[in-house]
Amino acid sequence: MAQAQVPVQGRTKLHKLNAEQELIISTVRKFVDKEVMPVASELEHRNEYPHALVGQMKEMGLFGLNIPEEHGGVGVDTTTFAMIFEELSRGWLGLAGVLGTHSVMCDVLDRFGTEDQKKRFLPTLATGEKRGGICLTESNAGTDLQNISTTALRDGDVYRVNGSKMWITNARHGNTFLLLAKTDPAAKPAHRGMSAFIIEKGAPGMTVSRDIDKLGYKSVETCELHFDNFPVPAENLIGGSEGEGFKQVMTGLEAERLNVAARGLGIARAAFEEAIRYAQRRKTFGKPIAEYQTIQNKLADMATKIEASRLLIYSACEKRDRGERCDLEAGMAKLFATETAAEVSFEAMRILGGNGYSKDFPVERYYRDAPLVVIGGGTNELQRLIIARNLLKKYKDNGS
């Protein structure tokens, strides 16, 4: 592979990309600069769904990023995938959200679906004709997915789904979803009775309920879904076997942590770039505030944590591309990058002062969006548990 120059934070960083990868990333970067950033805050403040931008993303093939070429997708490696999510989130987290959970569904289907399921769903998911997200969380089951109560019980050629899901991204404008439900509610432990399905809108029994009103992450809808004897064809049981759903979904969530980490990196980078630009233009007492040591210390810490986040993400992505387990590395990347997003967006607001609190500048949007990546994709409290458990396995004391 050729060495390609990848612009990062006003300078360049060497990373091994081939010409096709560089073309994809540069195309997304130009799309964000030209089409997204000029309208993001206005659309976000109106909480307006970005139909035109989503249409452009379909034309660019972004809905098929992690779908293999034989099924009509782009089939990018995980590092390139993360770079693309960084660029999209630099422009607008809500827009990245349209792709985020859709990509998790595609990943699970590609890894665990039958050949028939892949042929039926992946080509139209790649074009964006079918798009949606994942139906996992319930009112009493978020971090603890084994506590879900939604059931899918076999009834001839279909499964009948009953229950409710919440925090479903793309629920209103999407049409295809990954559903986790209990096919054996009595199973012990609970995960052995859980199965995953691809479900589609159309049949009676699925209701898209209220849109959840959120602090940030606006424009992309987040809704509740209710199921009342909703029929799902038996051939839509992922992998064709019951009881495998929990494992399938958790593998998909490993990939989600990386795209959420990349989203955090994008927010942090956008906030930093706004802050360092402002610091060089804003003058107090006759000189730019960037010349004051207090501001310089903030900028140095912000940039250092952003670069550390990027390297953690790349390390986890490369391990995943080698086919190795990366739950430890993905947890570290998600934890550090999203905490960095929260910290850097707040520091950027402090550098901008009153302007950072104003809707005239995008920093207030970054500040409102950052908590979502701290909580989403598995809370950072959960990430610390995952990290600690893996460290204890890695460094197990045998008493010798």
pLDDT in tens, 301-358: 999 999 999 999 999 999 999 999 899 999 999 999 999 999 999 999 999 999 999 9
Instruction: Assess whether 256 carries a catalytic annotation.
Output: yes
Report CA-CA distances (Å) from 239 to 109, 146, 199. Answer: 8, 20, 14
pLDDT of 209-232, one tens digit each? 989 999 999 999 999 999 999 999
Fold of 247-394: Butyryl-CoA Dehydrogenase, subunit A; domain 3 (1.20.140)
Active-site annotation holder among 138, 224, 244, 256? 256
pLDDT of residue 1 exceeding 70:
no
Query: Can you tell me the distance from the alpha carbon of 264 to that of 258, in angstroms, rounded to the nearest whole number?
Result: 10
* Domain ranges for the chain: 3-127, 134-243, 247-394
- Structure confidence at residue 282 (pLDDT): 97
CA 122 to centroid of chain Cα atoms: 19
Banded pLDDT at 21 (limits 50, 70, 90)? confident
What's the one-letter identity of residue 10? G
pLDDT of 125-139, one tens digit each? 999 999 999 999 999
Banded pLDDT at 15 (limits 50, 70, 90)? low
Q: Assess contact for 78 and 111: CB atoms under 8 A.
A: no
pLDDT of residue 8 exceeding 80:
no
Banded pLDDT at 12 (limits 50, 70, 90)? very low
What's the one-letter identity of residue 220? V
The answer for residues whose C-beta is within 8 angstroms of residue 28's C-beta and 6 or more apart is 60, 62, 84, 87, 88
**pLDDT (average), residues 76-84:** 95
Fold of 134-243: Butyryl-CoA Dehydrogenase, subunit A; domain 2 (2.40.110)
**Which class is 3-127 in CATH?**
mainly alpha
CA 94 to centroid of chain Cα atoms: 10
- Residue 159 Rama label (left phi>0; alpha psi -120 to 50; beta): beta
Helices H, strands E: what count in the chain? Answer: 11, 11
pLDDT of 143-182, one tens digit each? 889 999 999 999 999 999 999 999 999 999 999 999 999 9
**pLDDT (average), residues 16-32:** 90
Banded pLDDT at 6 (limits 50, 70, 90)? very low
**pLDDT (average), residues 240-254:** 94
**pLDDT (average), residues 48-61:** 96
